[in-house]
Amino acid sequence: MRWSALDLLAETMTTAWRRAASLPVEPEQARMWMFGITKLVLANADAADADECDSPASYETSAAAR
0.75 cut: is pTM over it?
A: no
Neighbours of 58 (CB within 10 A): 12
Dihedral sign computed on CA atoms, order 27, 28, 30, 34: positive
Give the whole-angstrom CA distance, residue 6 versus residue 61: 27
pLDDT of residue 53: 64
Residue 28 to residue 45: CA distance in whole angstroms: 26
Q: State pLDDT tens for residues 21-59.
A: 999 999 999 999 999 999 999 999 999 888 766 555 555
